[in-house]
């Protein structure tokens, strides 16, 4: 399979920073997740599937995340999140994520690098059972391969 990739840009807003104007670490994870959701939108897939008659719906919880913060990002910085698929397992996708500050002179600085795994699951809408890992549907694999 070829390496699928997707990018999205953001402008750092004041509420995403601390009193010094530096981005709080949790916001990096929000941007990564929003980029993954934009990828799903791009291929026409639901991030959270509709509940069926047995009240089960699909989703993609994170089962592992490992990132390294390289440089801080500040209020009003423009950033780009690059998301690439490193590997597709039977029930999970391993993503490579790199984040860059886009400078006004056209250069860019890497601010974060890492990888994470999202696992394909069925959720119980009654919340009586834990999520159940399922194989990634073939229809999804066809769509993601086309990116």
Q: How far is CA 130 from the centre of its chain?
A: 22
**Whether 58 contacts 40, CB under 8 Å:** no
117 CB neighbour count, 10 Å cutoff = 18
| Residue range 61-96, pLDDT digits in tens | 999 999 999 999 999 999 999 999 999 999 999 999
DSSP-H helix ranges across the chain: 25-43, 138-145
pLDDT score for 95: 96
Three-state SS string over 86-124 comes to EEECCCEEEEEEEEEEECCCCCEEEEEEEEEEEECEEEE
Tokens of 141: 């694999």
Read off the pTM: 0.88
**Per this entry, what is the length of the chain?**
147
The residues of the chain scoring below 70 in pLDDT are 1-4, 51, 53
User: Whole-angstrom Cα distance, residue 127 to residue 11?
Assistant: 37
User: In the chain, what percentage of residues exceed pLDDT 70?
Assistant: 95
Q: In the chain, what are the domains?
A: 5-145 (3.10.129.10)
pLDDT score for 93: 95
């Amino acid at each position: 399979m070829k390496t699928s990739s997707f990018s999205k840009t953001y402008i750092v807003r004041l509420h995403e920073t601390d009193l010094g104007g530096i981005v709080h670490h949790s916001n990096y994870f929000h941007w990564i997740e929003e980029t993954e959701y934009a990828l799903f939108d791009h291929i026409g897939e639901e991030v959270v599937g509709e509940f069926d008659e047995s009240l089960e719906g699909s989703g993609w919880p994170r089962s592992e995340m490992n990132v390294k913060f390289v440089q801080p990002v500040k209020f009003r910085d423009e950033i780009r999140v690059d998301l690439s698929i490193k590997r597709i397992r039977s029930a999970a996708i391993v993503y490579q994520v790199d984040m860059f500050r886009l400078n006004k002179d056209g250069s860019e600085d890497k601010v974060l690098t890492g990888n994470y795994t999202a696992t394909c699951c069925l959720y119980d809408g009654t919340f009586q059972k834990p999520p159940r890992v399922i194989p990634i549907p073939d229809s999804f694999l066809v769509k993601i391969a086309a990116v």
